[in-house]
Chains A and B, each alone.
Chain A
Amino acid sequence: LAKTTQPISMDSYEGQEVNITCSHNNIATNDYITWYQQFPSQGPRFIIQGYKTKVTNEVASLFIPADRKSSTLSLPRVSLSDTAVYYCLVVQRRDDKIIFGKGTRLHILP
């Protein structure tokens, strides 16, 4: 299993773009990078998944460099409601052993 490293916590202000970087130096060829968001007292929620280059959806963008040893989740123009824990996971498509790392606590300030 590829180990991931993320900042423990980050602060930002409303209206800013927030970038959270995840390191996964031993990512394997078959691994995908997936990000989840978790609010207090709720289950994690899927945000975005990618394999290489850039993926964008209505919530976020995911940037993955060519060597795939890191990835960056980008949240455009955050609001107070984006305060949550964000988890970066590296998983193989057919591997059910989905392990969560420590995550990044993002705190958005007014």
Chain B
Amino acid sequence: DTEVTQTPKHLVMGMTNKKSLKCEQHMGHRAMYWYKQKAKKPPELMFVYSYEKLSINESVPSRFSPECPNSSLLNLHLHALQPEDSALYLCASSQELNTIYFGEGSWLTVV
């Protein structure tokens, strides 16, 4: 089972809203990732958690707030976003071989 599950699949939010994206994996992977992807561009790394601790933050604006409640769950809390933050947000997980498994993504539209 190499499944990473992301919810919701689609989210529309206003610039003053607070919302969250959720990600779950049951493969026992130690690392979990958030990537952002705009149309026709490669995925951009945002955050990495390793053993439930934030290990990499790629200078992401504070309106994006990650959280790793346990080894299977990863959240991305969203607040005061801008229209340019509209994108596909991808969650992924990996074990030691750095083969990363991606979810299907959450499409975010900020209006």
Interface residues of A (CB under 8 A from B): 32, 34, 41-46, 49, 87, 91-103
Known: A97-B45, A100-B43. A43 touches B98 (CB 8 A): no
Interface stretch, picked from B12-20, B63-71, B75-83, B99-107, is B99-107
Known: A97-B45, A100-B42. A42 touches B98 (CB 8 A): no
Instruction: Decide: A49 and B31 in contact? CB cutoff 8 A.
Output: no
How far, in whole Å, are A93 and B102 apart by their CA atoms in the complex? 18
Report the nearest A residue to B30, measured CB to CB: A96
Instruction: Decide: A42 and B99 in contact? CB cutoff 8 A.
Output: no
Interchain CB contact (< 8 A) of A98 among B33, B96, B104, B105:
B33
Report the nearest B residue to A94, measured CB to CB: B96
Whether B90 is near chain A, meaning CB under 8 Å from some CB there, is: yes
Interface of A is mostly: loop
Interchain CB contact (< 8 A) of B42 among A92, A93, A102:
A102
How far, in whole Å, are A102 and B96 apart by their CA atoms in the complex? 25
Interface of B is mostly: strand
Contacts of A46 in B (CB 8 A): 99-101
How far, in whole Å, are A34 and B97 apart by their CA atoms in the complex? 10
Report the nearest A residue to B6, measured CB to CB: A43
Whether B74 is near chain A, meaning CB under 8 Å from some CB there, is: no
Interchain CB contact (< 8 A) of B98 among A45, A93, A100, A103:
A93
Instruction: Decide: B92 and A43 in contact? CB cutoff 8 A.
Output: yes
A-B contacts, 14 of them at CB < 8 A, read A32-B98, A34-B98, A34-B99, A43-B4, A43-B102, A43-B103, A44-B102, A46-B101, A49-B99, A93-B98, A96-B31, A96-B50, A96-B56, A103-B42
